[in-house]
Amino acid sequence: MTNKEYINAIEKLNLYSVHYYVLDDPITTDEVYDKLYHEVLEYEEKNPNELLASSPTQRVGDVISTGFEKASHLSRMWSLEDIFDNEGLQKWLTKTYKLDSNITFYCEPKFDGASLNLIYENGVLIQGITRGDGEVGELITQNVKTIKSIPLTIAHKSRIEIRGEIVIFKDEFEKINESRLKAGEALFANPRNAAAGSLRQLDSSITAARNLVFLPYSVGENTLEYKLLHDIMDYIYSLGFRKPPKREVCKDMQEIESIYKQMVDERDSYPMMLDGMVVKVDEIASQIDMGYTVKVPRFSVAYKFPAVEKITRVKKIVLQV
Ligand code: NAD
């Protein structure tokens, strides 16, 4: 890649991001985006002096739309580093073990939806904020309150941020697209875009009608004293949040690979779309020591699933007519 190609690639990726994050209407596939993103990343690793601040590798991707009031997260939200195969996992583990060799790993699905931060104070849901640029997102509390899997009150009094993914189940996605097809409206490209688009509606009654589901995966600011992430998540589920269909604590690469294979094999039987498995260091003290790059935590990684042909029943209908 030349410098000119590098600059062009950044412009292209930023344009793709606007269509993906703001308009909820992607103009390219995730595979094309990911390939170009990794070429940019490789170029920057070889030519660190030429790195541009506008590069998508330097920031959490979402672009904030102007339709909503903005709100700050109490603590930053992040993206995730991707790996695609066993070699990637080996490299990530080598890097991570160098930071701390005495660790175990919490593995759970990577849900393909839109990130959401919930702030509870005195046990009451006070704000729902999209990830945005990681520091500031869109304030969508009224929409969030229509989602049945999000408790409006919890039995936890000190201030806490609960982070998770908003998804649309696959059968619901097909129903929505079928009714859009009948109404002559544009179809959603995939459940991820349908979830993100439904969450960011100016009219809350549209969000309410879409049957969105919240799946928690971590906490932000909190006063919890648990030493292990899986204990934190068990506590969060005990407050009335939904559990993932599978999760496991693994002690080494072999166990990680085994649970990854199970998730790949079982993914079609889950009600929600997954695009990978997230591997996280389970020990909270080690997570804090490892910290973050400008964009991602060093203590976790997204082990992406092989791409599948994402053709829905509705698209088949469209192809038939
Ligand atoms: P990401 O979605 O790949 O990963 C980070 C996010 O994963 C987190 O913010 C969180 O919301 C989510 N997540 C789901 N389950 C999780 C779990 N169990 N634990 C922790 N986090 C979990 O990263 P991103 O920065 O949001 O988006 C980048 C991806 O978006 C790219 O890899 C690309 O595939 C896609 N994209 C596509 C286009 C396009 O035009 N097709 C454009 C921009 C981005």
Q: Which of 104, 49, 137 is nearest to 281 (CA)?
A: 104
Decide whether 1-58 matches 59-320 in CATH topology. no
* Amino acid at the residue 186: A
Cα of 124 vs centre of ligand 1, distance in Å, is: 28
Closest residue by CA, ligand 1 atom 33: 30
- Would the CB of 298 count as within 6 Å of ligand 1? no
Read off the pLDDT of each residue in 181-186 and give the average, rounded to a whole number.
Answer: 93
Q: How many CA atoms lie within 13 A of 216 on its CB side?
A: 27
Q: How many CA atoms lie within 13 A of 143 on its CB side?
A: 28
Read off the pLDDT of each residue in 254-280 and give the average, rounded to a whole number.
Answer: 97
Weakest-pLDDT range from 24-28, 134-138, 257-261, 295-299? 24-28
Q: Which residues have CB under 8 Å from 253's CB, separation 6+?
A: 89, 90, 93
The domain locations on the chain are 1-58, 59-320
* ipTM of the shown complex: 0.96
CATH 3.30.70.20 is held by the domain 59-320: no
Q: What is the CA radius of gyration of the chain?
A: 20
- Which H or E run includes 160? strand 160-167
- Would the CB of 283 count as within 6 Å of ligand 1? no
- Would the CB of 43 count as within 6 Å of ligand 1? no
Catalytic residue numbers read: 110
DSSP bridge pairs for 120? 125, 160
Cα of 315 vs centre of ligand 1, distance in Å, is: 24
Read off the pLDDT of each residue in 237-258 and give the average, rounded to a whole number.
Answer: 98
Pocket test for ligand 1, best of 19, 82, 165, 167 (most atoms within 8 A of CB): 165
Pocket test for ligand 1, best of 23, 30, 259 (most atoms within 8 A of CB): 30
- Indicate whether 320 pLDDT > 50: no
- Indicate whether 109 pLDDT > 90: yes
Cα of 112 vs centre of ligand 1, distance in Å, is: 7
- Would the CB of 217 count as within 6 Å of ligand 1? yes
Q: Judge whether 30 is annotated as a binding position.
A: yes
Cα separation values, 275 from 35, 58, 217, 250, Å: 16, 22, 15, 20
Q: What is the pLDDT of residue 23?
A: 82
Residue in the structure block whose two tokens are 């793709």: 16
Read off the pLDDT of each residue in 12-35 and give the average, rounded to a whole number.
Answer: 89
Q: What is the pLDDT of residue 31?
A: 87
- Which H or E run includes 105? strand 105-111
- Would the CB of 26 count as within 6 Å of ligand 1? yes
- Indicate whether 75 pLDDT > 50: yes
Pocket test for ligand 1, best of 63, 79, 243 (most atoms within 8 A of CB): 79
Cα of 202 vs centre of ligand 1, distance in Å, is: 23
* Amino acid at the residue 206: I
Percent of the chain clearing pLDDT 90 (strictly above)? 85
Weakest-pLDDT range from 31-35, 256-260, 287-291? 31-35
pLDDT, greater one: 82 or 25: 82
pLDDT band, very low/low/confident/very high, at 67 (cuts 50, 70, 90)? confident
Read off the pLDDT of each residue in 286-310 and give the average, rounded to a whole number.
Answer: 90
CATH 3.30.110.40 is held by the domain 1-58: no
